Amino acid sequence: MKSILNKFSPSYLSGFTQADGNFHISFQKVEKLSLGLRVSPKFTLTQHIKDKPLLEEIKSELGVGFISTSRDAVNYSVSSVPQIKNKILPLFEQSPLRAGKLESYLIFKKVVEMMENKEHLTKEGLAKIINMSYFMNTASSRTNDNRQELLKRIGFEGISEIEKLTIPTLSPINLDFIRGLTDGDGSFFIGFHSNGRITASYTVIQESSCKNVLEELVNYFGCGKVYDLSSSKSSRYQVENLNDICNKIIPHFKDNMLLTEKKTHFDLFAKACELIQNGSHKSKEGLMEIINLTYNMNKDGKGRKLTKEEYINLIELKFKSSSPLNIVPKLEDNNYGEIVDYDSAREEILKELKTTLITDKIELSDKSKLESLIDFDFTDIINKP
């Protein structure tokens, strides 16, 4: 298949779908149908509303599907069986998805083929589709009760055999796939610390069923580690070593353009990493340049513990003094840093800092120790007792 838009290859679209694509089979109760259920397959790509032009471009070039918006999200969807068969399936036959997303696609493909053959109009065929769809998306909210309810509605009481999936042999992951994956689930991030230290990281997140994809990134780039995020049933590939980022990550993306808002993030990230590598962050001017470049680049800075203005305020204090600030709140028992009166201790710190900017930004798990009070934003500029 030829490249789409001359910017997309099938591998790019496959990686993009690996990140933000979804294959879904829905069932609608329709009394006038002989079996009472309508089967509807749908392929969807989802992005933040800022990247709506990109999905519109994909729709225009493929010549099928429709665009819909919901709050801050935009979806490109294809739900026509002939259009899915002729336009969508060939993309993933040429450049397969991977891990759990590949398994969902193979089930989706089988359902579409069965519908092409009118098998969904028979009780046995529809039962098979219901059972297969139950195993499609591991993160979905469907339950066994939902499945049994659908089978009961069509009057199916037998046992529907589910064919074992034949997983194709995959070629090694390539850069176009990684570009698409990064445009969807990747992140370029600059971390700022209260002592002026700056860290850089490149991350890609996948649901746990697709952890193998992240292991492939380790092999491809020759750096980074994969971590399990048990709280969200997902895994994260992360590169934090600055030399690895500058020598192994950035060169791959410089000449291989990202197509979403991540392109802007990458350009700022690459510039910041260059400044850090050159030691520019050690001067106030260099540090301020990096702050202005990247502090608000991800989600307009809303994920930061401090706003950009609050962080600059702390940095100004750091450069005003050659030694750490000596701020010790007046407490009833200060031998081990225990805070008897948390509110007065906090007020004392803010008074000594001569600022009120951060009064709403401190979240603590343990308010009984001064260490907790100054834990994440003051640690490096305040002498703890």
Evaluate whether residue 118 is within a structural domain. Answer: yes
Evaluate whether residue 240 is within a structural domain. Answer: yes
Boundary (domain end) residue, out of 286, 302, 318: 302
CATH code (residue 250): 3.10.28.10
Boundary (domain end) residue, out of 263, 286, 302: 302
DSSP state of 368: T
Domain housing 380: 305-385
Would you call 156 helix, strand, or coil by DSSP? coil
> Residue 13, class by beta-carbon neighbours within 10 Å (0-12 exposed, 13-18 middle, 19+ buried)?
buried
d(CA 184, CA 72): 15
* Pair 117, 219 in one domain: no
Residues of the chain with confidence (pLDDT) below 70: 1-6, 137-142, 159-161, 301, 321-385
One DSSP character per residue, 31-54 reads TTSTTSEEEEEEEEEEEEGGGHHH
Contact between residue 369 and residue 338 where contact means Cβ atoms under 8 Å apart: yes
* Pair 199, 310 in one domain: no
* Pair 184, 293 in one domain: yes
* Pair 70, 180 in one domain: no
CB hemisphere CA count around 100 (13 angstroms): 19
Contact between residue 339 and residue 369 where contact means Cβ atoms under 8 Å apart: yes
Phi and psi at 198, nearest 5°, equal: -125, 135
- Residue 319: in which H helix or E strand, if any? helix 308-320
Query: Contacts from 361-367 at CB under 8 Å and sequence distance 24+?
Result: 361/305, 361/306, 361/307, 361/310, 367/339, 367/342
pLDDT at 359: 37
Boundary (domain end) residue, out of 302, 321, 339: 302
Q: Express each pLDDT in 346-362 by its tens digit.
A: 555 556 555 544 433 33
* Pair 144, 31 in one domain: yes
> Residue 246, class by beta-carbon neighbours within 10 Å (0-12 exposed, 13-18 middle, 19+ buried)?
middle
Evaluate whether residue 161 is within a structural domain. Answer: no
d(CA 73, CA 50): 8
Evaluate whether residue 169 is within a structural domain. Answer: no
pLDDT at 152: 86
* Pair 284, 254 in one domain: yes
Please, what is the angle between helix 123-134 and helix 99-116, to 10°? 170
Evaluate whether residue 79 is within a structural domain. Answer: yes
* Pair 133, 263 in one domain: no
* Pair 18, 112 in one domain: yes
Evaluate whether residue 166 is within a structural domain. Answer: no
* Pair 291, 311 in one domain: no
Q: What would the two tokens of residue 200 be? A: 């850089």
* Pair 271, 204 in one domain: yes
Evaluate whether residue 168 is within a structural domain. Answer: no
* Pair 194, 134 in one domain: no
Of 20, 19, 9, 10, nearest to 213 by C-alpha is 19
Structurally, the chain folds into a number of domains equal to 3
* Pair 267, 213 in one domain: yes
Evaluate whether residue 160 is within a structural domain. Answer: no
pLDDT at 346: 53
pLDDT at 295: 94
DSSP state of 75: E
Q: What does each C-alpha distance from 190 to 111, 291, 293, 297 come to in angstroms?
A: 44, 9, 10, 9
Would you call 107 helix, strand, or coil by DSSP? helix
pLDDT at 134: 84
Which are the contacts of 292, defined by CB distance < 8 A and separation ≥ 6? none
End-to-end, the C-alpha distance of the chain in Å comes to 67
